[in-house]
Amino acid sequence: MNDEDKTLNTNDDEEIKEEIDLDLIEDGDLTEEQMNEIALQAKHEARIQKEKTVPPKRVPKWFIWLISIMLVLSTVAGLFQVFSIPAIDFLLTSAKLSQDEEIMVYKESVVVVVTENGKGTGFSISDDGVIITNYHVIEDNQSIYVVYPEDGRYEATILESYEDIDLVVLKVEGENLPSLKLRPDATIKKDDPITFIGNPLSFKGIVNEGMILAPLKLKDWKHEVMMIQAPVYRGNSGSPVLDEDGEVIGVVFATLNHDEFGKVGLFIPIDLYFERVD
């Protein structure tokens, strides 16, 4: 018998078996084993039919909203880890101060100083591109650029360097650039209000205010610096400190945890710059 014959005979046997089973069901003459087999087969077919007719369960909308809220809260928590509540407050203060027309003009002269290692703040003191910033902002960097808010990006070179007072003078090739006025022989008194503009954290052109606290003599520094009660953050290095007339009286360069005043900002009096250039 060939393979084809075997196949045909097998099919015939199955058909006969189905006919016998049907006859047995009609006659009610079933063994217990046959009844169990039929019951299992019926359950199996019923389950298949149910799976075909019952639609797949949909994810409840409330569950989707819950996941979304959790993601938002997670993002907000991450932001609070980066920016403290006081840091958020200084953004609100800056937005308010920046509405002043004079402040808007001052901001045009405050630049972002960009190097291979990061960024800081500087400010223009002449219309042909002379800029003051901290020495530590550009230290050990070969490439230096400055970015004006309205006048764009310029490559800068070092004109003068005063490492002992953490100041450096940069020069860019430009004309009719905005600039701030320096105040020689500035009188600085306790509780005097000040304004400063810089690029703290990941922001640019942030304006804030504070007040003079007291002079401070730092270790390894020949000259005194000034302490201010103000929200100074990383990136504020090189920010101009302005008096009530909008003239520069100092340059922000650091923060310090003081025994009496707590966390304070430090600035270099602009008089120290004049002593070097005279």
Q: Which residues pair with 122 in a beta bridge?
A: 111, 133
SS3 per residue for the chain: CCHHHHHHHHHHHHHHHHHHHHHHHHHCCCCHHHHHHHHHHHHHHHHHHHHHHCCCCCCCHHHHHHHHHHHHHHHHHHHHHHCCHHHHHHHHHHHHHCCCHHHHHHHCCEEEEEECCEEEEEEECCCCCEEEECHHHHCCCCCEEEEECCCEEEECEEEEEEHHHCEEEEECCCCCCCCCCECCCCCCCCCCEEEEEECCCCCCCEEEEEEEEEEEECCCCCCEEEEEECCCCCCCCCCEEECCCCCEEEEEEEEEEECCCEEEEEEEEHHHHHHHHC
166 is catalytic: yes
3 is catalytic: no
Which candidate in 94, 237, 239, 243 is catalytic? Answer: 237
- Residues 130, 135: Cα–Cα separation, whole Å: 15
Which candidate in 109, 151, 166, 239 is catalytic? Answer: 166
Which candidate in 136, 179, 223, 271 is catalytic? Answer: 136
Q: Please list the active-site residues.
A: 136, 166, 237
